[in-house]
Amino acid sequence: MRRKFLGGNWKMNGLKSGLTALLTAVIQQLKDLATVEVAVFPSDVYLESMGNLLKAQHSAIALGGQNHCDHEEGAYTGETAPGMLQDIGCRYVLLGHSERRHTFGESNRVIARKFALAKQHHLIPVLCVGETEMQRDIGETEAVVREQINAVVNEVGINALAKAIIAYEPVWAIGTGKIATAEAVQEMHAMIRKHLANSDHDIAQNIQIIYGGSLKPQNAKDIFVLPDVDGGLVGGASLKAEDFTALAKLLAS
């Protein structure tokens, strides 16, 4: 039985006071929710203070980084080392988010190296994959996603995915209000699971595959009930305590 997972990717939004109020409300509203694994992904700048707040409230909500460097340490100005995320109390890290791939030009190769480092530092990678609108239009969706996954499997081996999450986030659905249809989401999640099963059946069955892209309490119901969907990765709606906690409760129901 796969555990449900809900991640709140806050991206580069908010300031300390507002984010503290947001997290305080989320902690309060989800304190009795034990069946869903919930994590928040603040900017690096606020990881420590958000982590301290979670600890002070004895919250089960986990902390994750939005990215880390593809090098261990050293002269990489402006970057964050994977060991720093671990040191500050992160359990998860997002890797290969579409904004990293498309705005910052991260290749499959770089993301695979980051994945290897995350595992070395005992972080649970949330590997984000997904096609652009153009790739979908020309029928390349499955090939693109398979390639994004293969790059990681080739680098670290299939066993490294035993403790990892895959987030299927079609690029055209992120921040656009356009959500993929339930059929398309189920088809892609099943395809990903089947693809992994070619390498290891148990890992494919046990890995959590979550959906991301314009999730809101109003549209998530049809997605969360799909057999191969194990939760969600939420951007915009994670910045509103009411919406994010409603999504968590929906997932638990």
Q: Taking contact as CB under 6 A, which single stretch among the options 27-35, 44-52, 113-121, 234-242 is the one that binds ligand 13P?
A: 234-242
Q: Which stretch binds ligand 13P (CB under 6 A): 45-53, 85-93, 133-141, 228-236?
A: 228-236
φ, ψ of residue 246 to 5 degrees: the values are -65, -40
Residue with the two structure tokens 């997972």: 5
Question: Interface mask (CB under 6 A) for ligand 13P, residues 55-94, using x and -?
Answer: ----------------------------------------
Does residue 6 belong to the site contacting ligand 13P (CB under 6 A)? Answer: no
212 binds ligand 13P (CB under 6 A): yes
- Which of 99, 106, 131, 169 is the catalytic position? 169
The closest residue (CB) to ligand 13P is 235
Which residue lies nearer to ligand 13P by CB, 9 or 141?
A: 9
State the nearest-atom distance from the C-beta of 24 to ligand 13P, in Å.
22
Judge whether 97 counts as a catalytic residue. yes
**Smallest separation, CB 247 to ligand 13P (Å):** 10
Give the residue from 185, 139, 155 showing the smallest Cα distance to 70: 155
Q: How far apart are CA 231 and CA 211, in angstroms?
A: 6
Smallest separation (angstroms) from ligand 13P to the CB of 152: 17
Total interface residues for ligand 13P by CB under 6 A: 14
Instruction: Compute the distance between CA of residue 19 and CA of residue 47 in angstroms, rounded to an integer.
Output: 11
What counts of helices (H) and strands (E) characterise the chain? 11, 8
Q: From the CB of 238, what's the least distance to ligand 13P, in Å?
A: 7
Q: What is the C-alpha to C-alpha distance for residues 105 and 6, in angstroms, rounded to an integer? A: 26
Strands (E), the chain: 4-9, 36-41, 62-65, 92-95, 124-129, 165-168, 208-212, 231-234
| 106 annotated active-site | no
Pick from 40, 61, 44: nearest CA to 233: 40
- Alpha-carbon gap, residue 223 to 201, rounded angstroms: 24
Tokens of 245: 């906690």
Q: Is 175 in the site for ligand 13P (CB under 6 A)?
A: yes
**Region near ligand 13P per CB under 6 A, out of 24-32, 180-188, 211-219, 242-250:** 211-219
Q: Binding of ligand 13P at residue 213 (CB under 6 A)?
A: yes
Q: What are phi and psi of 232, to 5 degrees?
A: -145, 155
- Least separation in angstroms between CB 133 and ligand 13P: 14
Segment holding 27, helix H or strand E: helix 16-29
Query: What are the catalytic residues?
Result: 97, 169
Instruction: Please give the residue ranges that form the binding site for ligand 13P (CB under 6 A).
Output: 9, 97, 169, 174-175, 212-215, 233-237
